[in-house]
């Protein structure tokens, strides 16, 4: 394996995973071109985004569920000035991990 690919692999294991890193992973594991892998990643994210924008939940088996929730308006404070203000009504996405993902995340704590 060449040095550049090794560096890319190390990068994937740290911090945030980018779209490019996802497409590189598809490229390596499935043997498809990087261009097609990038198109696949973009297509998957576009479908996910469309589902969420329509207000629907997105369930990814053995990973978790993305849920669109409405937040009511509420009173808050401007952090710079301390003045009271109203935080507007909005929608947000929340993530609920699957039981299996929670178990994998907490595996290290059980072994101690």
The answer to whether the beta carbons of residues 77 and 47 sit under 8 Å apart is no
**Residues 107, 60 share a domain:** yes
74-77 vs 90-97, strand pairing mode:
unpaired
Single residue among 17, 35, 54 that ends a domain in this structure: 54
Q: Whole-model pTM?
A: 0.71
* pLDDT, tens digit, 9 for 90 and up, residues 83-111: 999 999 999 999 999 999 999 999 877 66
- Across the range 28-49, mean pLDDT stands at 95
What total of structural domains would you count in the chain? 2
Q: Which residue, chain included where needed, has tokens 């297509």?
A: 43
19 CB neighbour count, 10 Å cutoff? 12
**Residues 92, 108 share a domain:** yes
Nearest to 45 by CA among 13, 22, 62, 67: 22
78 CB contacts (<8 Å, ≥6 apart)?
84, 85
């Amino acid at each position: 394996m060449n040095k550049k690919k090794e560096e890319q692999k190390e990068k994937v294991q740290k911090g945030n995973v980018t779209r490019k890193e996802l497409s590189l992973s598809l490229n390596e594991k499935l043997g498809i071109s990087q261009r097609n892998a990038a198109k696949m990643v973009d297509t998957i994210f576009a479908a996910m985004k469309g589902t969420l924008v329509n207000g629907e939940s997105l369930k990814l088996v053995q990973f978790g569920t993305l849920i669109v929730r409405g937040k009511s308006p509420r009173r808050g404070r401007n952090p710079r000035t301390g003045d009271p203000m109203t935080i507007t009504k909005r929608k947000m996405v929340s993530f609920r991990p699957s039981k299996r993902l929670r178990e994998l995340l907490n595996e290290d704590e059980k072994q101690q």
